[in-house]
Amino acid sequence: MRATTAAVILAALASAPAAQGALVSQGGVRMGADALWSRGVLGSGQTVAILDEGFAALDRSIALGELPPREAMTIRAFDPGGLDGTTEFGQPTQHGVRMAEIAHDIAPGAHLALVAYRTPAQFEEAAAWIAAQGIPVVSHSNSFLAPPYDGTGRAAQAVDRAAAAGVLWVNSAGNYGQRHWRGAASADGVVLPISPSPGSPLLLSLSWPDPAAAASVAVERQDPSGAWVEVQRSTAAPSANAPAGSGVMHAATTPITADAAPWRIVVRQSAGPAQTLSLFSYTAGFGASAVADGSIPTPGDAAGALTVGAVKWTGTALEPYSSRGAAGSTAKPDLVGPTYVTSNPEWPGTAGTSAATAHVAGAAVLLRQARLARGLPAAPADLRAQLTATALGLGAPGPDPLYGAGMARIDSTAPALSVRIGPGARRLVRVQAADEGTIRHVRISMNGRALRVVRRPVVGVRLPVLRPGLNRVTIAAEDMAGNIGTRTRVLRRAR
Ligand SMILES: [Ca+2]
Ligand SMILES: [Ca+2]
């Protein structure tokens, strides 16, 4: 995106409500949240839960003014280790703070509930607690690599129960588009090359549907002689996330720290009826061998989740890492949201489907307040219906497994245009575009040729001398949420 458009955004954000903190995510204006901010709809009277693995360094964010003081938030840790949390790799994580900052940018008037968990059991407990508190919107930007990934697992059921109790559960689709592989393998194995950064942890998760089959994933390292040496092979067990009796199998490795040597993955099926094996990698990508299709883990697979993929706030293309639904299915994802944003000056470029999810949760909070103010129903189904109906369609027409219904947006009204055209041989066109959101640009064309594109709402252009006969002047104004208003005037010059 050109710097001038970034300037348009910065100008719009400069008038954002002071409660939003020092820096406001560009994703807010990208979704057209300013259309509601300008009407004073900031999420007041609403609560949004940020459910995450950890909220380390929370006080730094508060000190920077990017989050409200602790006493103004609800804080609850289901992880006995506390709010700072731990990742799969045993590290404290600030991930939840980044998500809370984004939701707070979009809905600064909303009460925040920061909820930490570590294990799947704590996740289920936290989901039930959020529902019991009557919290209407939850932002959960995390996934479990625990099969099945078809909406029937325990984590998905916990989400469905919360949704049935009145929670709009906004969940990340996951960042596994380049870290998923699916296919068949023989006992000799399928080799998947990986290029981990030295020091990064390797952790793999393989699954298949039939307990009568045996399969494994192995991590191999090349020694200086060129020989591949197996460092670890997974052990298989019935998936703890699977419903009782389903028999879905799970074979995971434990974390290994990569070094500068070449590494690779080998997937084998050693016994039983031929299976479609599904492999997720926590960190290292599979390069050209990756299969993006069907790369949404759980609980983004839950019917009760509003599942969100990622598009950079500056564009319309799906991020290559954004997990995709199964080809031919329109079930997931439900939407995409803006990502690669900065909400805290110390954390430039927060990316992933995580950030997109926190934006959509914030948007849902604003819409809920606006709906309730108008006496409209605001149950999860109502919010979901509004968000999907007003989304900016991207990709194939209709819902698709890449973008779902498209980019979530709050502003779904096209700019209104006022056009005046003066007399004379070279006529002066004066245009004023008005919008509740922010104007991205105004374009003036004549006879199919662009004369002027400006990144402001008011513009005057002197037309070239008209050609004999009819001349078509088209004015188009696009807002940041992608709504386009157009006006066409036909000017005649005698032959
Ligand atoms: Ca912020
Ligand atoms: Ca608009």
pLDDT in tens, 77-120: 999 989 998 877 778 899 999 999 999 999 999 999 999 999 99
Q: CA 58 to CA 85: how far, in whole Å?
A: 12
416-493 architecture in CATH? Sandwich (2.60)
- The alpha carbons of the chain give a radius of gyration, in whole angstroms, of 25
d(CA 318, CA 326): 15
* Backbone angles phi and psi of 364, in degrees to 5: -65, -35
Find out whether 313 and 385 touch, Cβ atoms under 8 Å. no
Distance between CA atoms of residues 460 and 463, nearest Å? 10
Q: Beta partners for 306?
A: 170
Mean pLDDT within 342-346 = 95
User: How close is the Cα of 448 to the center of ligand 1, in Å?
Assistant: 42
Residue with tokens 């947006």: 409
Query: Which among 193, 190, 282, 266 is positioned nearest to 233, based on CA atoms?
Result: 266
Centre of ligand 1 to C-alpha 101, Å, is 5
Q: List pLDDT tens digits, range 301-336.
A: 999 999 999 999 999 999 999 999 998 888 999 999
361 closest CA partner among 167, 134, 71, 148: 167
102 CA distance to ligand 1 middle (Å): 6
Task: Please tell me the distance between residue 92's alpha carbon and the centre of ligand 1 in angstroms.
Answer: 21
- pTM for the whole structure: 0.95
Q: Please compute the mean of the pLDDT values over residues 142-169 and round it to a whole number.
A: 97
Q: Which CATH superfamily is domain 3-176+295-389 in?
A: Peptidase S8/S53 domain (3.40.50.200)
What beta strand segments (E) does 292-361 contain?
Answer: 305-312, 335-339
Instruction: Tell how far the Cα of 465 is from the centroid of ligand 1, in angstroms.
Output: 50
Predicted local distance difference test score (pLDDT) of residue 327: 87
pLDDT value, residue 17: 65
Give residue 211's identity as a one-letter amino acid code: P
pLDDT score, position 12: 73
Q: How many CA atoms lie within 13 A of 48 on its CB side?
A: 35
Displacement of CA 484 from its chain's centroid (Å): 24
Of the listed ligands, the closest to the CA of 28 is 1
pLDDT above 50: residue 1: no
CA 13 to ligand 2 center in whole angstroms: 16
Q: What spacing in Å lies between the alpha carbon of 111 and ligand 1's midpoint?
A: 15
Quick check: 183 pLDDT over 50? yes
- CA 196: distance to chain centroid? 25
Q: How confident is the model at residue 3 (pLDDT cuts 50, 70, 90)?
A: very low
Per-residue pLDDT band at 256 (split at 50, 70, 90): very high
How far apart, in whole angstroms, are the C-alpha atoms of residue 169 and residue 49? 10
Distance, in Å, from the CA atom of 178 to the CA atom of 284, rounded to the nearest integer, reads 9
User: How much is the mean pLDDT over the chain?
Assistant: 94
Q: Which residue has the tokens 């909220």?
A: 55
Statement: residue 264 has pLDDT above 50:
yes
C-alpha to C-alpha distance for 69 and 59, rounded to whole angstroms: 8
Please give the distance, rounded to the nearest whole angstrom, from the Cα atom of residue 446 to the centre of ligand 1.
Answer: 42
pLDDT at 328: 85
* Residue 58, H or E segment: helix 58-63
Whether residue 250 contacts residue 144, with contact meaning beta carbons closer than 8 Å, is answered with: no
Return the ligand number nearest the Cα of 437. Answer: 2
Rounded to the nearest angstrom, the distance between the alpha carbon of 108 and the centre of ligand 1 is 9
Could you say which DSSP state residue 174 is in? -
Task: For residue 247, report the distance from its CA to the centre of ligand 2, in Å.
Answer: 51
For ligand 1, the distance from its centroid to the CA atom of residue 31, given in whole angstroms, is 16
pLDDT at residue 395, rounded to an integer: 81
Tell me the CA–centroid distance for residue 287 and ligand 1, in Å. 34
Cα of 428 from ligand 2 centre, angstroms = 26
Ligand 2 centroid vs 485 CA: distance in angstroms?
A: 9
Please tell me what DSSP assigns to residue 6.
H
CA 453 to centroid of ligand 2, rounded, Å = 18
The pLDDT of residue 21: 65
> Minimum-distance ligand to the CA of 410?
2
CA of 439 to the centre of ligand 1 (A): 22
> Measured in angstroms, how far is the CA atom of residue 373 from the centroid of ligand 1?
26
- Find the 433 Cα to ligand 1 centroid distance in Å: 29
**What does the alpha-carbon distance between residue 448 and residue 465 come to, in Å, rounded to a whole number?**
15
| Residues 221, 455: Cα–Cα separation, whole Å | 53
Instruction: Give the Å distance between the CA of 24 and the centre of ligand 1.
Output: 4
Distance 413 CA to ligand 2 centre (A): 4
User: What's the whole-number mean pLDDT along residues 210-233?
Assistant: 97
Domain boundaries, the chain: 3-176+295-389, 180-289, 416-493
CA–CA distance, 407 with 410 (Å, rounded to integer) = 10
Please name the amino acid found at residue 176: Y
Contacts of 271 (CB under 8 A, 6+ apart): 213, 214
Fold of 180-289: Jelly Rolls (2.60.120)
Q: How far apart are CA 362 and CA 32, in angstroms?
A: 12
DSSP string, 123-158: HHHHHHHHHHTT--EEEE---B--S--SS-SHHHHH
- At residue 345, the pLDDT reads 93
- Cα(104) to ligand 1 centroid in Å equals 7
Q: How far is the CA of 100 from the centre of ligand 1 (A)?
A: 9
Ranking 132-146, 373-387, 389-403, 407-421 by mean pLDDT, the lowest is 389-403
Tens digits of residue pLDDT in 350-395 = 999 999 999 999 999 999 999 999 999 999 999 999 999 999 999 8
Helix (H/G/I), strand (E/B), else coil: 38: coil
How far does the centroid of ligand 2 lie from the alpha carbon of residue 371, in Å? 18
pLDDT score for 2: 45
Q: Compute, in angstroms, the gap from residue 131 CA to the centroid of ligand 1.
A: 27
Please give the distance, rounded to the nearest whole angstrom, from the Cα atom of residue 303 to the centre of ligand 2.
31
Neighbours of 120 (CB within 10 A): 18
355 CA distance to ligand 2 centroid (A)?
23
Instruction: State the ligand closest to the CA atom of 359.
Output: 1
Lowest mean pLDDT among 3-17, 32-46, 229-243, 387-401: 3-17
Q: Who contacts 136 (Cβ-Cβ below 8 Å, separation ≥6)? A: 46, 47, 48, 166, 167, 168, 368, 378, 380
Higher per-residue pLDDT: 424 or 292? 292
